[in-house]
Chain A
Amino acid sequence: KNQVEQSPQSLIILEGKNCTLQCNYTVSPFSNLRWYKQDTGRGPVSLTIMTFSENTKSNGRYTATLDADTKQSSLHITASQLSDSASYICVVSSYAGNMLTFGGGTRLMVKP
């Protein structure tokens, strides 16, 4: 069964600090991995998308890494801002079935 597990479930950090969110997956055959940011009550917005051959991808203060051998990914947020408060969802796509498997998300709260 295809699964995506994220940790931690929730996280509180102070403004200006860095943090790292984790994602482990068992989706096979792997196509790509995406990180989305979702503000409360809104639709997810794509941050990064990585294929099998990509190890790192950055989008401003967001840097995603992928280890396809261990089936792990991380999202690192640098110099956090209050606007980073949101849920961050890891999504893995498989070539089989063309469906996306979503993780449960990490709810990040950045406090002043």
Chain B
Amino acid sequence: DAGVTQSPTHLIKTRGQQVTLRCSPKSGHDTVSWYQQALGQGPQFIFQYYEEEERQRGNFPDRFSGHQFPNYSSELNVNALLLGDSALYLCASSSGTGGFREQYFGPGTRLTVT
């Protein structure tokens, strides 16, 4: 049983560019959450997708957008990249959206903006 997978593993982009990160949830999970983790800090919640809709959103600008597909996989898009967007982007999946649901994390995508 494959766990949560993310692609790519590493990515280097230039300021102003756009980037798309991908996540496949654990088998049987239908909810995907995205987090940004700056170096040396805890993850910050970006948003959560369930039934192909954004259900919850953290304190992130509209430059951060997402999508969930019918097979429950998800994409995170970031437009007009800033140096401060450099971080580890984590995807977590769960079965259902309740806060008590166990979330399983992927290995993350390391984004570097130069």
A105 to B43, CA, bound (A): 9
Binds B, one of A14-22, A61-69, A77-85, A92-100: A92-100
User: Distance (Å) between the CB of B73 and the closest chain A CB?
Assistant: 16
B interface bracket (residues with beta carbon within 8 Å of A): 20 to 34
Contact of B99 among A89, A98, A104 (CB under 8 A): A98
- Nearest CB in chain B to that of A49: its residue: B102
A interface bracket (residues with beta carbon within 8 Å of B): 20 to 34
B41 engages A31 (CB within 8 Å): no
B100 engages A32 (CB within 8 Å): yes
| Residues of B close to A60: CB separation below 8 A | none
Count, A-B residue pairs, CB within 8 A: 64
B90 engages A44 (CB within 8 Å): yes
| Residues of B close to A31: CB separation below 8 A | 99-100
A99 engages B56 (CB within 8 Å): yes
Binds A, one of B11-19, B60-68, B104-112: B104-112
Q: Which residues of A contact B (CB under 8 A)?
A: 4, 31-32, 36, 41-46, 49, 51, 89, 93-100, 102-105, 107
Given contacts A44-B90, A45-B105, A95-B98, 15 further A-B contacts (CB under 8 A): A42-B107, A42-B108, A43-B105, A43-B106, A89-B42, A93-B99, A94-B99, A95-B99, A95-B100, A98-B97, A99-B56, A100-B33, A102-B44, A102-B45, A105-B41
